[in-house]
């Protein structure tokens, strides 16, 4: 109770800044031991801040009534994490597949008076990976001095990341710290705290762990197969939902399906738009396989997988996901061939879409007007812009959009969580300071993912998927709150490092051959 009393005052705001600073140290410091120490601090501080925030939540009623049972359950979870960490310490590459499998699965948990769909399996994997990294880093003994034999030559240093990748990591860490600092004056600090401990901190740790992995072609291919298998499985669940007209999650979607002639599926996802985003991104990641694979059997299997996923995507009725798919495929075309051809193809697609809308506007909901067809997004955007104008420089504070929009523009019975346009949400919450930080980070990410990516199918896929996701955030919520963003960036940084390493080795080989030729007698 003494600890809770201390954390119920101003200390949580300092705690949020502290845990963000620890995550930034993990991302930026070059020494592995310092990174491990910062990971320990982040892993200890995050649950303390969360427990202080949700201590009186009904979800923790069993903890108050049966503290011994709660402690026993916590010990069981810690033992499971430790066991998984031992496996990952022996085989670090398994972390990549474990993260890929855990990415889509969310569990409804009540926190702070609201129900949140949390990525509990992913938290387990990140905690195990972090513990494995801490264990392997801190157990390394200092080399003993000996005069019995000459010192062995030092191992070659790991290749340095390209300059754009280093700036990407710096700006990403800076944005996390800025978000925490701007939470201190937020009108909804509780929301900002939950964003930090549920999303930013664990995803930052996962980003660092994934970026350290050597993403060989085999590992990249295996992870893509895992993703494609998950997408097919989820699409099949969607087909069952559509055939039986039964929704497994989201009571609001169940009610909406009963009120409309159409039927929307969400598979194991709470939101059809998140389901659609996942399927669209997997389709974009599979796109380069068709363009670069030489084996006809590989192309045929990929086409069959894409057809199944496409069917699931159509049943989500997510227009933002369909748009993201088109943007991602257009990016692949531009990287594989020429920008001019991609633009011509895009113009053709837009022309066909315009003709379809003109023939049957009711099908696309345009008979309701732009605001109705887009589920009220134009109104949310204009309201967010008004909030930005009111506090142009520093905004209303991290996580405050819902509270401030309700105070200024909210209509009775309307529910919202964001403007569904990430730049507008950031502008309203964090002002010009946060908006510039966000834009700088996005530019650095695009430079990192696109630089010299044309010749590498894996880099083409990651860059196209990130650009598709970036487009989706202009029409829907969740950017850094989505673990797929961090995963794509981590893989992109690792692949960019491999590209730079390959170029450096090629240059060194060429230089060595030139020197050898110069030393040969004439």
Tell how strand 107-111 and strand 114-118 pair up. Answer: antiparallel
pLDDT number for residue 114: 56
| Chain Cα centroid distance, residue 339 | 27
List of residues 6+ apart from 160 with CB closer than 8 A: 166, 497, 500
| Best mean pLDDT range from 115-124, 279-288, 358-367 | 279-288
- Lowest mean pLDDT segment, chosen from 403-407, 415-419, 465-469, 482-486: 415-419
pTM here is 0.87
How many of the other CB atoms lie within 10 Å of CB of 69?
A: 11
- Higher model confidence: residue 485 or residue 268? 485
Measured distance CA(424)–CA(400) in Å, rounded: 12
Q: Looking at residues 25-37, what average pLDDT do you find? A: 95
Q: Is 521 helix (H, G, I), strand (E, B) or coil?
A: coil
Rounded-to-5 percentages of helix, strand, coil across the chain: 75, 0, 25
List of residues 6+ apart from 389 with CB closer than 8 A: none
- Structure token digits, residue 508: 């060194």
Measured distance CA(276)–CA(264) in Å, rounded: 11
Residues 122, 127, 133, 139: what is their CA dihedral angle, to the nearest 10 degrees? -160
Whether the per-residue pLDDT at 441 is higher than 60: the answer is yes
pLDDT number for residue 161: 73
pLDDT digits (tens, 9 = 90+) for 183-225: 999 999 999 999 999 999 999 999 999 999 999 999 999 999 9
Q: Identify the residue whose tokens are 């990287």.
A: 335
pLDDT digits (tens, 9 = 90+) for 107-117: 876 554 556 67
* Mean of per-residue pLDDT scores for the chain: 83
Whether the per-residue pLDDT at 1 is higher than 90: the answer is no
Whether the per-residue pLDDT at 5 is higher than 90: the answer is no
Measured distance CA(33)–CA(336) in Å, rounded: 42
pLDDT digits (tens, 9 = 90+) for 345-386: 656 655 665 565 556 555 444 444 444 444 556 767 888 899
């Amino acid at each position: 109770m003494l600890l809770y009393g201390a954390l119920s005052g101003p200390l949580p705001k300092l705690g949020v800044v502290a845990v963000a600073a620890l995550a930034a140290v993990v991302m930026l410091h070059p020494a592995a031991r310092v990174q491990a120490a910062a990971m320990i601090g982040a892993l200890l501080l995050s649950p303390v801040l969360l427990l202080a925030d949700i201590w009186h939540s009904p979800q923790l009623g069993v903890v108050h009534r049966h503290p011994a049972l709660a402690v026993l359950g916590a010990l069981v979870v810690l033992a499971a994490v430790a066991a998984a960490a031992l496996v990952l310490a022996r085989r670090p590459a398994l972390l990549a597949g474990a993260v890929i499998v855990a990415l889509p699965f969310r569990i409804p948990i009540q926190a702070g008076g609201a129900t949140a769909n949390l990525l509990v399996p992913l938290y387990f994997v990140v905690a195990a990976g972090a513990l494995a990294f801490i264990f392997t880093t801190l157990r390394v003994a200092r080399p003993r001095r000996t005069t019995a034999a000459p010192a062995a030559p030092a191992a070659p240093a790991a290749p340095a990341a390209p300059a754009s990748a280093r700036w990407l990591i710096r700006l990403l860490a800076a944005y996390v710290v800025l978000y925490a600092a701007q939470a201190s004056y937020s009108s909804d600090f509780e929301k900002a705290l939950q964003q930090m401990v549920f999303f930013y901190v664990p995803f930052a740790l996962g980003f660092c762990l994934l970026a350290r992995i050597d993403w060989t072609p085999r590992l990249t291919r295996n992870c893509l197969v895992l993703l494609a298998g998950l997408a097919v499985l989820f699409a099949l669940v969607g087909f069952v939902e559509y055939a039986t007209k039964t929704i497994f999650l989201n009571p609001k979607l169940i009610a909406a399906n009963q009120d409309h002639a159409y039927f929307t599926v969400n598979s194991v996802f709470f939101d059809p738009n998140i389901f659609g985003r996942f399927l669209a991104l997997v389709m974009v990641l599979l796109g380069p396989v068709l363009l670069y694979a030489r084996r006809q059997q590989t192309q045929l299997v990929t086409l069959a997988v894409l057809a199944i996923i496409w069917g699931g995507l159509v049943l989500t009725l997510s227009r933002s996901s369909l748009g993201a798919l088109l943007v991602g495929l257009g990016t692949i075309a531009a990287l594989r061939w020429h920008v001019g051809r991609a633009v011509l193809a895009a113009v053709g697609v837009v022309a066909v879409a315009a003709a379809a809308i003109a023939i049957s506007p009711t099908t696309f909901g345009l008979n309701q007007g732009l605001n109705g067809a887009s589920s009220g997004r134009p109104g949310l955007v204009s309201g967010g812009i008004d909030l930005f104008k009111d506090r142009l420089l520093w905004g209303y504070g991290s996580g405050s959009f819902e509270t401030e929009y309700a105070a200024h523009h909210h209509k009775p019975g309307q529910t919202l969580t964001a403007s569904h346009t990430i730049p507008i949400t950031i502008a309203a919450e964090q002002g010009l300071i946060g908006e510039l930080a966000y834009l700088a980070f996005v530019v650095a990410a695009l430079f990192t993912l696109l630089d010299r990516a044309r010749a590498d199918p894996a880099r083409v896929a990651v860059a196209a998927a990130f650009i598709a996701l970036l487009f989706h955030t202009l029409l829907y919520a969740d950017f850094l709150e989505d673990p797929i963003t961090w995963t794509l960036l981590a893989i992109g940084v690792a692949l960019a490092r491999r590209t730079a390493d390959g170029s450096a080795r090629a240059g060194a080989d060429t230089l060595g051959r030139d020197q050898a030729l110069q030393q040969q007698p004439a």
